[in-house]
Amino acid sequence: MRLSFKIEGGDFTQAGQASSEVKKVLKQLGIDAKTIKNIVIALYEAEVNIVAHAYRGTIDVEIDDKKITIRLTDEGPGIPDIEMAMKEGFSTASKKVREMGFGAGMGLPNIKKNTDLMDIKSTVGVGTELIMVNYF
């Protein structure tokens, strides 16, 4: 099964749409609650990152009988130092974003913790691609 979503940067009302839709589908498929929770946390953080840090993005979800693969690609400023960005508490979020309650710098570390595989590639000035996989 494949699902696809579009996200606009800056629109925090959209963050959470893909993760709640994916949650619904995984429940219908009878995936265990703990696995669903991990996937929803990781996808929510990844959606927020596109809204908070990029201009626009696409989310492609592929579900088979063994795993879920989620690929998020965005057009945005990119990440100059991925190792640094992965550190707990590291954030370049704007004051405006922090005032809305985002930008604690825990998104990427939480994505790492809640997925079985995570791969992030980024080109400064172009955008970022994040792939995450959870096995059922």
Ligand X SMILES: Nc1ncnc2c1ncn2[C@@H]1O[C@H](COP(=O)(O)OP(=O)(O)O)[C@@H](O)[C@H]1O
Residues that bind ligand X (CB under 6 A): 45, 49-50, 52-54, 74, 76-79, 85, 90-93, 102-108, 128
Q: How far is the CB of 93 from Mg ion (least distance, A)?
A: 7
Q: How far is the CB of 44 from Mg ion (least distance, A)?
A: 10
Q: How far is the CB of 98 from ligand X (least distance, A)?
A: 8
Contacts of 105 (CB under 8 A, 6+ apart): 87, 88, 89, 90, 91, 93
Residue 85 binds: one of Mg ion, ligand X, none (C-beta under 5 to 8 A by kind): ligand X
Rounded distance, CA 37 to CA 78, Å? 28
Residue position matching structure tokens 């940067």: 9
